[in-house]
Structure 1
Amino acid sequence: MSIIRTPEPSEATGEAAAMYAEDLDDLGYVPEYTRVMSVNPEAYRAFEDLVRSVVPVLGKRRYELVTLAAAQALGSEHCRLAHGRKSLHYFDEDDLERIARDYHDAPLSDAEVAMMEYAERLSTDSAAMTEDDAARLRAHGFTDREIVDITLAAAARNFYSRAIQALGVRTEVPPDLSDRLRAALLAPL
């Protein structure tokens, strides 16, 4: 249970109620991470705006791959599960399981693998990153805008994942994930 007290869905008002309603529509329940973030809905909406600013250039598939790589590097079960579920819109379950277990051995392009490696490095050792990290992405055809957006997507995942971890949000498994995919998304690499 989180260290933050949050309203029950029936008690939420204003922007918090709107956030709860979005999750009820999408998931059928309100995850604890939404409840905690609803305490500062302006910050949550700013996070969403940042994500919306990078998705048009990267595309949703690539955004989800960056998110999965960053979440794995951070040990964020919350985000691996939530974005694993979202990634089922772009990958079939078998391919997503392979991505979750080892994206180097999954049906991804070399550019997608390089992008995920970059997101992992940013999430574990960003202070050591150099021009060579961006050069690797350029070698795979990424533009400067795409490199900035990959960086922002991974950094945004760092922000969100670290915030919910620090606030003691419990990990919830989306009920519509298969046991096999859940196990792959939660398996350490």
Structure 2
Amino acid sequence: MSIIVTPEPGEATGEVAEIYAEDIADMGYVPSHTRVMATNPEAYRAWENLIGAIARPMDKRRYELITLAAAGALRSKACRLAHGKKSLQYISEDELVRIARDYHDAGLSAAEVAMMDFAEKLSTDSAAMTDADSTTLREYGFTDREIVDIALAAAARNYYSRALHALGVEVDVPSGLSEPLRSALVDTL
């Protein structure tokens, strides 16, 4: 549990109240990560703008796979759960359980596995990355723009997940996740 004191949704004012209202409209509640990160509403809005600039032009399935790989490498239960729920819009639950348990053995295309390997390596040992890592993506048909977007999506997840860890943010389990999916998303970390 975070030591950061946050207002209750009914007590928030100004930009924080607007941020809370957006989550209530979207999810029906204000997750712990929003409450803590909205302590700096300017940075929170900048984060939203950054993620929008990265994710908007990307294929949504691809973005979620990258995010799940980075969050898994970081052992971020909060991000795995939140994006596991979001991923259900683009990935069936059965496939998502397999991906969460071991994306190498989930029936993904070789290009998707390479992309997730790249996101995982960026999240665990980015200093060891070489041109060969990007070249592998190019060999699977990714354009320069797509390679940059993959790197940015994984790096952005590193920023957010690491901030949540550092601030001791409580992990919320989104409603509507089946027990097998919830287990696959977090028990493998």
In 1, distance between residues paired with 2:20 and 2:120? 31
Give % identity: 68
Q: Which residue of 2 aligns with 1:92?
A: 92
Counting matched residue pairs gives 189
Q: Does 1:38 align with 2:34?
A: no
Contact preservation (8 Å) 1:95, 1:106: yes
Could you tell me how far 1:107 is from its partner in structure 2? 3.0
Question: What per-residue deviation string (whole Å, max 9, x for no partner) do you get for residues 88-141 of structure 1?
Answer: 000111011011111111132111111000000000000010000000000011
Q: Which residue of 1 aligns with 2:167?
A: 167
Q: Which residue of 1 aligns with 2:8?
A: 8
Identify unmatched segments of 5+ residues in structure 1.
none
Q: Which residue of 2 aligns with 1:65?
A: 65
Identify unmatched segments of 5+ residues in structure 2.
none
Q: Which residue of 2 aligns with 1:80?
A: 80
SS for the counterpart of 2:73 is: helix
Q: Does 1:103 align with 2:103?
A: yes
Contact preservation (8 Å) 2:98, 2:105: yes
SS for the counterpart of 1:58 is: coil
Q: TM-score, normalised by structure 1?
A: 0.97
Amino acid at match of 2:85: R
Q: Which residue of 2 aligns with 1:149?
A: 149
In 2, distance between residues paired with 1:34 and 1:10? 15
Q: TM-score, normalised by structure 2?
A: 0.97
Amino acid at match of 2:148: V
Amino acid at match of 1:115: M
Amino acid at match of 1:103: Y
Following TM superposition, the consecutive aligned residue runs of length 4 or more in structure 1 with deviations greater than 4 angstroms are none
Could you tell me how far 1:56 is from its partner in structure 2? 3.3
Contact preservation (8 Å) 1:57, 1:146: no
